[in-house]
Amino acid sequence: MAARTHRPRRRTEALSRERITEAAVELLDTAGESGLTFRALTERLATGAGAIYWHVANKGELLRAATDAVIVTALATPPAGAAPRDRVRAVALGLFDAVEAHPWVAAQLSALPYQSTAPRIFESVGQQVKALGVPEEHWFATASALVEYILGAAGQNAANTATARALGPAPDRGEILGSVARAWEGLDAEEYPFTRAVGDQLRAHDDREQFLAGIDLILAGVTALHLQDGPRTPREH
Residue 12 Cβ vs DNA, minimum distance, rounded to whole Å: 9
Nearer Cβ to a second copy, position 83 or 213? 213
Q: Residue 48 binds what, of a second copy, DNA, none (CB under 5 to 8 Å, by partner type)?
A: DNA
The Cα 124–Cα 45 span in angstroms is 34
Q: Which of 38, 208, 214, 227 binds a second copy (CB under 8 A)?
A: 214
Nearer Cβ to DNA, position 51 or 131? 51
The Cα 115–Cα 107 span in angstroms is 15
Q: Which of 77, 137, 229, 237 binds a second copy (CB under 8 A)?
A: 137
* 105 CB burial (10 A radius; 0-12, 13-18, 19+): buried
The Cα 155–Cα 177 span in angstroms is 16
Q: Binding to a second copy (CB under 8 A): which residues in 138-157?
A: 139-145, 147-153, 155-156
Binding residues for a second copy, total number by CB under 8 A: 66
Task: Name the nearest CA neighbour of 13 among 36, 46, 42, 37.
Answer: 46
Nearer Cβ to DNA, position 46 or 83? 46
Per CB under 8 A, 101 contacts a second copy: no
Residue 229 Cβ vs DNA, minimum distance, rounded to whole Å: 55
Nearer Cβ to a second copy, position 51 or 162? 162
Task: Name the nearest CA neighbour of 99 among 22, 160, 36, 55.
Answer: 160
Per CB under 8 A, 167 contacts a second copy: no
Half-sphere exposure of 107 (CA within 13 A, CB side): 12
Task: Name the nearest CA neighbour of 147 among 80, 102, 214.
Answer: 214
Residue 64 Cβ vs a second copy, minimum distance, rounded to whole Å: 12
Phi-psi region of 35 (alpha: psi -120 to 50; beta: other; left: phi over 0): alpha
Residues at the contact surface with DNA, assessed by CB under 7 A: 14-15, 36-39, 46-51, 53-55, 58-60
The region of 44-52, 67-75, 82-90, 182-190 touching a second copy under the rule CB under 8 A is 182-190
Q: Are 118 and 112 in contact (CB under 8 A)?
A: yes
Distances (CA, A) of 12 to 15, 32, 109: 9, 27, 34
The Cα 174–Cα 167 span in angstroms is 14
Which residues form the interface with a second copy (CB under 8 A)? 106-107, 110-115, 118-119, 122-123, 126-127, 129-130, 136-137, 139-145, 147-153, 155-156, 158-160, 162-163, 180, 183-184, 187, 191-195, 197-198, 201-202, 205, 210, 213-214, 216-225
